[in-house]
């Protein structure tokens, strides 16, 4: 790929252009989403919060906003005030895919707590702020925690996170495209250890939030193959993938929430709209040399977590 696919990065449009494009989309919106007036009112409200403005311009999440959205329930439970903007409050607490990724994070946390064992080596790709590995209970006992991401800003946030957790001595941060981690543009930490890990393989590889930005199935399989090459035989991959709406368990979703979720996805024109059935992901992983041994679902079955073994 060799390009940022989750957000626009330095290429981002101006906000006014993004809002103009959203208004043009609304002119041609499917009627099931509601009237143009309703959609324009939603857009106006959404554009009043920073998250909304960022998503309109970038059509996805970078490391910062991924953490912002995923950690929302924990922050509110810890006493942080809910946002004033009602659209943002809805998005963070009721929008289907956002709630699904918050629940998914808990599945990842449970699995990583089990598989990041004393002396083990783990890779997070794309790492974002790297909360998955840096907050896992086994982090202090692991030998190497490696985070890889193409966005230098993610690498910077992950480095700060590692410092805050007192884990800098065992963390290696690699600025690289996820399809070709062996050709990094920058490495901070022990580069020789990273080279050796690329040769011998990691015990655990974890990945959330990249395959969902890839429309082409062959590209996804190539991504999984590149990770298989970096996983020891018998090692584990923990990976998520969005499922198509017909596969969701709509009995668990309020119809108004579903409609508003669809409206906001449409308004943002999100780039992560590349769902695959769970069976498709199992097959793609299999063709890349992984056997899926467990699948863990969020309540709506929108964003399953797959535990796979490298065979």
Please identify, using beta-carbon distances, which residue of 178 and 288 lies nearer to ligand SAM: 178
C-alpha pair distances (Å), 199 with each of 74, 202, 228: 38, 9, 12
The DSSP output letter for 130 is: -
Work out how close the CB of 246 gets to ligand SAM at its nearest, in angstroms, rounded to a whole number.
24
> Which of 63, 171 has the CB closer to ligand SAM?
63
Residue 5 in contact with ligand SAM, rule: CB under 6 A? yes
Q: Which of 42, 177, 203, 298 binds ligand SAM (CB under 6 A)?
A: 177
**Smallest distance, ligand SAM to C-beta of residue 155, A:** 9
CB nearer to ligand SAM: give 177 or 203.
177
Are 232 and 305 a contacting pair, CB within 8 Å? no
Judge whether 182 and 158 are in contact, CB under 8 Å.
Answer: no
The nearer residue to ligand SAM, 263 or 271, going by C-beta atoms, is 271
Contact 290, 237 (CB under 8 A): yes
Q: Which of 171, 178, 197, 204 binds ligand SAM (CB under 6 A)?
A: 178
Of 240, 175, 245, the residue nearest 209 (C-alpha)? 240
What's the angle, vertex CA 19, arms to CA 17 and CA 25, rounded to 5? 105
- Of the ranges 48-56, 149-157, 189-197, 300-308, which one interacts with ligand SAM (CB under 6 A)? 149-157
**Strand, coil or helix: 86:** helix
Assigned token pair, 104: 């998914």
Asked if residue 59 binds ligand SAM (CB under 6 A), the reply is no
Three-state SS for 232? Answer: strand
With binding defined as CB under 6 A, does residue 203 bind ligand SAM? Answer: no
Interface with ligand SAM, residue 209, by CB under 6 A: yes
Q: Is 304 in the site for ligand SAM (CB under 6 A)?
A: no
Task: Indicate the residue among 215 and 234 with the shorter CB distance to ligand SAM.
Answer: 215
- What is d(CA 296, CA 305) in angstroms, rounded to the nearest whole number? 5
The 61-80 contact track toward ligand SAM, x by CB under 6 A, reads xxx--xx-------------
Report residue 10 as tokens.
């330095």
Asked if the peptide bond before residue 83 counts as cis, ω within 30 degrees of 0, the response is no
Stretch that binds ligand SAM, among 3-11, 77-85, 224-232, 287-295 (CB under 6 A): 3-11
Q: Is residue 208 a contact point for ligand SAM (CB under 6 A)? A: yes
- Nearest-angstrom CA–CA distance, 86 and 263: 14
Which stretch, 15-23, 57-65, 243-251, 263-271, contacts ligand SAM (CB under 6 A)?
Answer: 57-65
Sheet holding 171-175, edge to edge: 186-188, 171-175, 144-149, 121-124, 202-207, 231-240, 305-310, 290-296
How many residues make contact with ligand SAM (CB under 6 A)?
20
Does 175 participate in binding ligand SAM (rule CB under 6 A)? no
**Interface with ligand SAM by CB under 6 A: which residues?**
1, 4-6, 61-63, 66-67, 126, 128, 149-151, 154, 177-178, 208-210
């Amino acid at each position: 790929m060799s390009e940022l696919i989750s957000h626009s990065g330095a290429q981002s449009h101006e906000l006014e252009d993004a809002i103009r494009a959203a208004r043009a989309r609304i002119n041609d919106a499917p009627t099931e989403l509601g009237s143009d007036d309703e959609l324009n009112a939603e857009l106006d409200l959404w554009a009043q919060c920073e998250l909304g403005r960022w998503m309109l311009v970038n059509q996805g999440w970078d490391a910062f906003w991924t953490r912002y959205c995923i950690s929302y329930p924990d922050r509110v439970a810890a006493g942080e005030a809910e946002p004033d903007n009602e659209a943002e409050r809805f998005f963070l607490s009721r929008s289907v895919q956002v709630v699904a990724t918050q629940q998914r994070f808990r599945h990842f946390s449970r699995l990583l707590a089990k598989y990041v064992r004393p002396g083990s080596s783990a890779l997070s790709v794309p790492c974002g702020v790297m909360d998955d590995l840096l907050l896992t209970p086994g982090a202090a006992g692991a030998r190497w925690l490696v985070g890889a991401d193409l966005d230098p800003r993610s690498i910077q946030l992950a480095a700060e996170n590692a410092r805050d957790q007192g884990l800098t001595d065992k963390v290696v941060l690699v600025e690289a495209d996820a399809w070709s981690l062996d050709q990094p543009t920058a490495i901070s930490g022990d580069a020789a250890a990273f080279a050796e890990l690329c040769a011998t393989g990691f015990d655990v590889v974890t990945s959330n939030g990249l395959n969902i930005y890839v429309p082409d199935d062959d590209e996804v399989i190539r991504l999984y193959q590149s990770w298989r090459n970096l996983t020891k035989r018998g090692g584990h991959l923990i990976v998520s993938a969005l499922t198509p709406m017909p596969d969701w368990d709509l009995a668990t979703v309020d119809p108004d929430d579903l409609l508003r979720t669809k409206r906001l996805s449409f308004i943002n024109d999100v780039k992560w709209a590349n769902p695959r059935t769970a069976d498709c992901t199992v097959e793609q992983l299999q063709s890349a040399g992984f056997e899926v041994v467990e699948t863990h679902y969020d309540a709506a079955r929108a964003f399953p977590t797959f535990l796979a073994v490298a065979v």
